[in-house]
């Protein structure tokens, strides 16, 4: 491209031009700028973003200010995926600008590089269908584009997130920053390897290079509410500036707090304060949809989701707490923790904490930072803690709500989890070792007794080494190290194995909530 700057010099012109890209293939966008060797470019990492910049007539740049300086608009192309349920979700976080720790330490939120570059963005969304054929990308299309600035309510939380990151920088702890520290705005690692480090101003310890980013949960909320939903906010423009605003409101996503309740931006404190009002109350007496849980569950007190229902009720929600606006945007994982007491009066957690089952083929070919486990351990956890007690009236068990703990995993522990993930990947790619012991089949994955924070074991009580709903196909045949017992009539395969998942060790979790019992 020959232009030194884009001809679109107002935010209205930028947005309307971006809207004209909707429905066009990446090949057409490149061709519009006189670029025709598209099949040669498709292997480039920034192929989609470059196509968008071609269409917007913006020369490639690495400037500190917004891409289109005159309009103050940053351009971003961002992917989404369609789930099996038909819902659309952001495929990844939205990575923004690199953080210069030395310079950012001198700034306030208002003068920060984040505000300078990213406060107004044109976001173009495209579906990443998961195709492994890079040439297919030339035919991908932008499905929608919005002119995006942060809604006032979100901005309070984002400002608090920025201040959290800034505090780590000015305290000489930039090397301790991780994505779980914050709610909507994160500082994600940015670089090709662990050797991508930067100088920080108040410590001699090199810190990983990081960039500001909007969490996947936040982007999913934007996607569902404002991009493909009908929710409106004065800060976000979807229609062309020549069209009338639509007045339909999408009420699918509930909010926990009003704008006034979040005026200080500290979402964690607001959640803890709201939930801890119910400390000491029996599970059945907790509120849910205007009634008590006892009333709602009178015909079936063994409902598995009763603890999550309790959290939703305490937060004043009708639906699932994990679907609430603030929880989604902050990528918060809600986990109910049941605590028991032994005969010596010591508290302990009976069960390890499970995460979703993983796909053997997926884990065998993915990178750590693209893995589901990486996303989980870099999330913020909300532990809702319930103590199991004896109910003398019913001669059964009861539970008392003991409070809530919001926590994120420190970097040193994330590194330990990474080693477990790498070990699991290596064993899958080299052939999982299996052997019979009595009536059980054992494998060589890391287990809970290895004390490595997480471990691997089956997700279901049903064991299967043949093709069915309880098993998953292995990318490399398993290695049977012992003969099948004579009384075993199943013709076990080396191509299928019981579905597995990562579990967070119960003793590790208890240490995070111990103070609730002091």
Does residue 42 fall inside a structural domain?
yes
- C-alpha to C-alpha distance for 483 and 487, rounded to whole angstroms: 12
Which residue range is the domain that position 70 belongs to?
A: 11-235
- Count of CA atoms in the C-beta half-sphere (13 A) of 208: 17
Task: Report d(CA 281, CA 275) in Å as an integer.
Answer: 11
Q: How many domains does the chain have?
A: 1
pLDDT at 246 over 70: no
Residue 381 to residues 160, 271, 364, 377, 430, Cα–Cα distance (Å): 18, 12, 27, 9, 33
Per-residue CA distances from 315 to 273, 285, 288, 329, 504 (Å): 10, 14, 9, 16, 26
- Give SS3 for 213: strand
Tokens 């971003």 belong to which residue? Answer: 76
Query: Comparing 144-153, 186-195, 198-207, 293-302, which segment has the lowest mean pLDDT?
Result: 293-302
Q: In whole angstroms, what is the distance from residue 141 CA to residue 25 CA?
A: 4
Beta bridge partners, 332, equal: 380
* pLDDT, tens digit (0-9, with 9 covering 90-100), for 89-132: 999 999 999 999 999 999 999 999 999 999 999 999 999 988 77
Decide if 108 is inside a domain: yes
In a domain, 341, yes or no: no
Mean pLDDT of the chain: 91
CATH number at residue 224: 3.40.600.10
Mean pLDDT, rounded, for 504-516: 97
Residue 419 belongs to some domain of the structure? no
pTM of the model: 0.79
Closest CA relative to residue 14, chosen from 114, 98, 121: 121
Minimal CA–CA distance to 115: which of 102, 97, 100? 97
Does 49 map to a domain?
Answer: yes
253 in Cβ contact with 271 (< 8 Å) = no
Pull the structure tokens for residue 316.
């004043």
Could you tell me which residues come within 8 angstroms of residue 163 by beta carbon, excluding any fewer than 6 positions away?
Answer: 109
Least confident of 34-43, 237-246, 479-488: 237-246
| 326 in any annotated domain | no
Predicted confidence (pLDDT) per residue in 355-411, tens digit: 999 999 999 999 999 999 999 999 999 999 999 998 766 556 789 999 999 999 999
Rg for the chain, CA atoms, rounded: 25
CA 340 from chain centre, in angstroms, equals 30
Mean pLDDT on 23-44: 92
Domain membership of residue 5 (yes or no) is: no
pLDDT in tens, 53-70: 999 998 777 777 788 887
255 vs 322: CA distance, rounded Å: 11
Whether 317 has a pLDDT exceeding 80, the answer reads yes
Would you state the structure tokens that stand for residue 163, as one six-digit string? 């201040």
Phi-psi region of 15 (alpha: psi -120 to 50; beta: other; left: phi over 0): alpha
Q: Tell me if 145 is assigned to some domain.
A: yes
What pLDDT, on the 0 to 100 scale, is given for residue 378? 96
CA distance 441 to 18: 57
**Is it the case that residue 270 has pLDDT exceeding 50?**
yes
């Amino acid at each position: 491209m020959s232009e030194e700057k884009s001809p679109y010099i107002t935010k209205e012109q930028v947005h309307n031009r971006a809207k004209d890209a909707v429905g066009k293939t990446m090949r057409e966008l490149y061709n519009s700028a006189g670029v025709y060797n598209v099949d040669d470019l498709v292997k480039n990492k920034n192929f989609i973003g470059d196509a968008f910049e071609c269409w917007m007539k913006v020369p490639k740049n690495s400037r500190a200010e917004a891409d289109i300086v005159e309009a103050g608009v940053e351009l971003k192309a961002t992917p989404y995926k369609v789930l099996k349920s038909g819902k659309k979700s952001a495929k990844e976080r939205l990575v923004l600008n690199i953080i210069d720790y030395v310079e950012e330490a001198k700034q306030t939120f208002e003068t920060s590089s984040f505000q300078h570059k990213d406060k107004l963005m044109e976001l173009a969304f495209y579906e990443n269908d998961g195709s492994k054929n890079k040439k297919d990308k030339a035919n991908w299309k932008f499905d929608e584009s919005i002119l995006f600035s942060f809604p006032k309510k979100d901005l309070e939380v984002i400002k608090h997130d920025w201040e959290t990151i800034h505090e780590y920088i000015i305290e000489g702890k930039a090397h301790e920053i991780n994505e779980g520290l914050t709610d909507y705005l994160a500082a994600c690692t940015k670089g090709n390897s662990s050797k991508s480090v930067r100088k920080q101003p108040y410590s001699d310890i090199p810190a990983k290079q990081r960039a500001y980013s909007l969490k996947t949960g936040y982007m999913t909320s934007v996607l569902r509410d404002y991009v493909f939903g009908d929710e409106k906010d004065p800060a976000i423009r979807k229609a062309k500036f020549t069209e009338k605003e639509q007045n339909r409101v999408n009420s699918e996503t509930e909010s926990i707090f009003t704008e006034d309740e979040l005026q200080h931006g500290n979402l964690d404190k607001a959640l803890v304060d709201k939930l801890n009002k119910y400390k000491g109350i029996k599970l059945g007496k907790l509120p849910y949809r205007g009634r008590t849980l006892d009333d709602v569950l009178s015909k079936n007190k063994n409902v598995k989701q009763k603890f999550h229902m309790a959290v939703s009720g305490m937060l004043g929600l009708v639906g699932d707490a994990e679907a609430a606006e603030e929880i989604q945007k902050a990528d918060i994982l809600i986990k109910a923790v049941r605590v028991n007491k032994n005969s010596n009066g010591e508290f302990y957690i009976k069960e390890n904490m499970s995460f979703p089952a993983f796909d053997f083929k997926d884990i065998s070919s993915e990178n750590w930072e693209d893995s589901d486990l990486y996303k989980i351990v870099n999330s913020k956890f909300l532990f809702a803690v319930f103590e199991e007690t004896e109910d003398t009236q019913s001669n059964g068990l009861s539970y008392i709500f003991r409070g809530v703990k919001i926590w994120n995993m420190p970097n040193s522990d994330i590194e330990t989890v990474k080693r477990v993930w790498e070990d699991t990947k290596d064993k899958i790619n080299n052939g999982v070792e299996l052997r019979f012991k009595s009536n059980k089949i054992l494998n060589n994955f890391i287990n809970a007794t290895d004390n490595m924070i997480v471990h691997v074991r089956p997700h279901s009580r049903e064991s299967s080494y043949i093709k069915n709903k309880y098993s998953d196909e292995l990318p490399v045949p398993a290695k049977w190290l012992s003969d099948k017992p004579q009384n075993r009539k199943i013709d076990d395969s080396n191509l299928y194995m019981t579905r597995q998942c990562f579990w967070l060790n119960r003793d590790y979790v208890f240490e995070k909530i111990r103070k609730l019992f002091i």
